[in-house]
Amino acid sequence: MAKTKYFADDELMGTRPVVKEPVIVSDVLSPEKFQETLNTLNGYSLDELKYDRSFGRFMLKNPAGQMPDQLLEHCLQKARDIFDSQTLLPTYSCYVRYKGARANLLRHMDSNACTYTVDLCLTSSVDWPLYVEDKEYLLKPNQALCFYGEDQLHWRGPFPEKDSNIVDMLFLHYAEPDHWYFTQGPEYYQKILADTRAAM
């Protein structure tokens, strides 16, 4: 595989994982926890979510201890087992609701602390496949695609029937303790964004 050019300097990226094929994991949350998660996150109105115009999606990032952030800890051991690293740590979580004419997920790698990515499907009114490195994956509710967000290109095709469909996803991200997220602090991401803009 060609060497990945990371958004941060290589030495700040920390210990890099052995990148493996993505896997779909079923029953990520217990039925009770999944229902609690749905009730909480689907209860947010669009007005309460932040609209991300570039992806045409509505987003929620809450402080530590609240939903969806509390699920980072809840799923920590599962993530360690899935990615075969007993040292990985939570970085950040995000709930997103894809809805409307601009909904999309263009081909990209992640610039934030997404070494290990758990993409959990909450609800989906339509089959909208995810692609990672040219392979197609289709998720049902409470299934997650587990892959390497900083190392594997990922995207989706056109959002079907934009007027009527909604797809709700929960992103749980993890990284190693020597990743810039922990050594420089989460705010280092702002420097990465500024450097990326300056290079464009």
Per CB under 5 A, residues contacting Fe ion are: 110
Is the CB of residue 96 less than 8 Å from the CB of residue 169?
Answer: yes
- Is residue 2 classed exposed, middle or buried when 0-12, 13-18 and 19+ CB atoms within 10 A define those classes? exposed
Cβ at position 35, least distance to Fe ion in Å: 27
Least Cβ distance, residue 22 to Fe ion (angstroms): 12
Nearer to Fe ion (CB atom), residue 110 or residue 178: 110
CB distance 72 to 175 below 8 Å:
no
Nearest distance, CB of residue 100 and Fe ion, angstroms: 19
Best CA proximity match to 200, nearest among 1, 3, 4, 7 = 7
| Minimum CB distance to Fe ion smaller for 112 or for 124 | 112
Q: Residue of minimal CB distance from Fe ion?
A: 110
Shortest distance, position 104 Cβ to Fe ion, whole Å: 12
Q: Measured from the CB of residue 43, what is the shortest distance to Fe ion in angstroms?
A: 25
- List own/partner pairs for 158-163 with CB under 8 A and 24 or more apart: 158/104, 159/56, 159/98, 159/103, 159/104, 159/128, 160/126, 160/127, 160/128, 161/126, 162/100, 162/101, 162/103, 163/101
Nearer to Fe ion (CB atom), residue 52 or residue 110 = 110
